[in-house]
Structure 1
């Protein structure tokens, strides 16, 4: 075999090996190019579809559909209906949330306002009150005032109100034994008077017993209201008839009464009694008062 022949065979073998190496590489490059163009085209189509969907959504709101003229019109209508329905549901949900928040806020403000008014009302109720007590040091605590007119009884014209003992005044004035109402409302009015009998020295028990049996005492307590009406209006009346043992040295009786009445601003209330000479103005036993309850 000549040298020329060997050289030709070696060259052919190297070319064949080079082709075998380049062929797979060319196949890979071709596949990569195909894949690149495929995904690039898909991405472009997806972008265009999103743009058309955005335009279609806007068109649905303006009652215009900007889809592909060659596309299916019914499919476009369905998409518009779906989009509008979803948008309506979202708006309804947001409106309900806003309405609930507003209602909750209004209820809270209303409750806070009601609570504040109730506290203010309760505070006002507690401040309107009076309690007057008797005073033994006053020689004359009674008067037969022309104010009574034909009404029976003698008015108690003096009560202790200067915070001595248990007496007090809160937003109520007192004048000539009368409580002057400063605020219209319903009041609980009460009074107690203490009647005290004592035997006089130098008189026999038999004589006194006979007088008692012949002339029993009627003990009466009245509570009046003074309005624009010419005569006072009787609110409460309580009566007892004295009855005691023949051998007793003292006769002690107390009358208490109370009730709820509506009083208006500047109206006045007072207490009157029968047999005023028998009244003991002890501060713990004879008293008069009222307080606002609503």
Structure 2
């Protein structure tokens, strides 16, 4: 009888299948790459924001500089235009302004208030003329006529002109006359009177101490004047007039 020996494996059962499971081992190199990639993206974003902010601030600065330059230029142009306009107006203005000068009475002349246009701030332009102490109107139109007479009156008893029985000066006056050349008519345009050296409760002693009375008569109004009309003034108390520093003047300007 034959003997049989068992084999290590059943032949019929076939080869035993072996299953191998592959486990992926985490790589430190891949993890670092992701971190660096994220940081790179953040850096790009920050750089973009910084670049945008830089260009925005630069654009805003350039815009403000441009606006400031434009505003400065506009202001300069406006000033130039204003000066040009004033210069044009002054060059085309028709006006005359005279300052008074007191001429004392002599054997050959009478005491009078003499008007001058070639001294101080006095001038004449636009066709106005001063002839025989009278202003000649250049053309028909509306004009503003004005004049002022300033007085410094001594109220002592030593003066004789214009005093009342008590030895006090009573009044000063100033008037503007017009002579219409076309009609041959003389008329008064304006006039005013001021009482001087009044004796009152507080003034009597002052006047006795030699203190004076100071005042001015101003006249001014609009009139329609004709070409060739003549204007002049009439003032009393010439010796009491103050003519220095432009205190007494006479003028006309066209409207």
Q: TM-score, normalised by structure 2?
A: 0.52
Indicate conservation of the 8 Å contact 2:164/2:170, yes or no: no
Which residue does 1:240 correspond to in 2? 194
Equivalent residue in structure 1 for 2:104, among 125, 128, 139: 139
Q: In structure 1, the residue corresponding to 2:213 is in which secondary structure?
A: strand
Equivalent residue in structure 1 for 2:123, among 143, 147, 168: 168
Deviation, 1:250, is 1.4
Distance in 1 (CA, whole Å) between partners of 2:130 and 2:140 is: 16
Which residue does 2:43 correspond to in 1? none
Deviation, 1:243, is 3.4
Equivalent residue in structure 2 for 1:188, among 144, 150, 159: 144
Deviation, 1:127, is 2.1
Cα deviation, 1:114-144, whole Å, max 9, x if unaligned, reads xxxxx9xx959942101001235x4359x87
Equivalent residues, number: 154
CA RMSD in angstroms, aligned pairs only: 3.3
Distance in 1 (CA, whole Å) between partners of 2:140 and 2:237 is: 33
Distance in 1 (CA, whole Å) between partners of 2:165 and 2:145 is: 33
Cα deviation, 1:150-170, whole Å, max 9, x if unaligned, reads xxxx963x21211x2110001
Which residue does 1:198 correspond to in 2? 154
Distance in 1 (CA, whole Å) between partners of 2:227 and 2:212 is: 43
The 1:174–1:258 alpha-carbon spacing in structure 2 relative to 1, beyond 3 Å, is same
Determine which structure has the larger strand proportion and give its number: 2
Q: In structure 1, the residue corresponding to 2:197 is in which secondary structure?
A: coil
Q: TM-score, normalised by structure 1?
A: 0.45
Question: Which consecutive unaligned segments of at least 5 residues does structure 2 have?
Answer: 1-84
Determine which structure has the larger helix proportion and give its number: 1
Indicate conservation of the 8 Å contact 1:133/1:283, yes or no: no
Distance in 1 (CA, whole Å) between partners of 2:240 and 2:155 is: 12
Cα deviation, 1:167-189, whole Å, max 9, x if unaligned, reads 00012100121110112110000
Deviation, 1:199, is 5.5
Q: Which moved more, 1:242-251 or 1:256-265?
A: 242-251
Deviation, 1:214, is 5.3
Distance in 2 (CA, whole Å) between partners of 1:212 and 1:194 is: 25
